């Protein structure tokens, strides 16, 4: 690939990671952390596989990025995720000092980046994240709908 990668390019990678979660029987959510043009951490939902309630895609991507950088503070990075983060993940993003959040589908039931709650831009917290939702929203939402309709 030549040229500068876009939010859409990175979200396509997040969708690929969501496919890994789905292959494991997990809710298909994928996430990656980018610094500049470089992917420094990736994750996909694995709470069932890892028997860990915190093993959401965002948390695993943050852990991988922190290990790559040797620091838990991830200032200047962007996290891409296929579904709006839940409160746990949104709080982790704030604590990690992620600069920017880009997500695909909105989560009106438990989304914490503007839908049900808004932790990422709260003035009550010591860090705010530049947030942009709706990138490849149709594709991200379709993956989730397919997954849940196959289980009903």
Q: What pLDDT is stored for residue 150 in this prediction? A: 86
Q: Is the pLDDT reported for residue 76 higher than 60?
A: yes
Residue 107, SS3 per DSSP: coil
At residue 2, the pLDDT reads 62
pLDDT at 47: 98
**pLDDT tens digits for 31-57?**
999 999 999 999 999 999 999 999 999
> CB under 8 Å to 124, separation ≥6 — which residues?
none
pLDDT surpasses 60 at 1: no
List 58, 68, 84, 139, catalytic entry: 58
Mapped onto helix, strand or coil, the DSSP state of residue 48 is helix
* Count of residues making up the chain: 152
| Segment 90-146, tens digit of pLDDT | 999 999 999 999 999 999 999 999 999 999 999 999 999 999 999 999 999 999 999
DSSP 8-state code for residue 9: H
| β-bridge partners, 31 | 43, 81
For residues 138 and 126, give the distance between their C-alpha atoms in angstroms, rounded to a whole number: 33
Q: Residue 97 gets which letter from DSSP?
A: T
pLDDT band at 24 (very low <50, low <70, confident <90, very high): very high
- Tokens representing 39 are 């992917």
Say if residues 11 and 140 touch (Cβ distance below 8 Å). yes
Whether 58 is a known active-site residue: answer yes
What are the tens digits of pLDDT across the range 3-14?
789 999 999 999
Res. 72: pLDDT tops 70: yes
């Amino acid at each position: 690939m030549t040229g500068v990668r876009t939010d859409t390019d990175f979200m396509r990678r997040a969708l690929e990671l969501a496919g890994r979660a789905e292959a494991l029987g997990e809710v298909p959510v994928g996430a990656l952390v980018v610094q500049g043009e470089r992917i420094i951490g990736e994750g996909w939902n694995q709470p069932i596989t890892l028997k860990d309630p915190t093993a959401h895609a965002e948390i695993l991507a943050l852990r991988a990025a922190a290990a790559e950088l040797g620091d838990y503070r991830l200032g200047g990075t962007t996290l891409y995720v296929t579904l709006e983060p839940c409160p746990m993940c949104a709080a982790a993003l704030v604590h990690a000092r992620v600069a920017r959040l880009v997500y695909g589908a909105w989560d009106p039931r438990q989304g914490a980046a503007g839908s049900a709650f808004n932790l990422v831009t709260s003035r009550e917290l010591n860090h705010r994240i530049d947030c942009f939702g709706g990138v490849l929203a149709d594709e991200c939402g379709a993956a989730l709908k397919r997954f849940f309709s196959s289980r009903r």
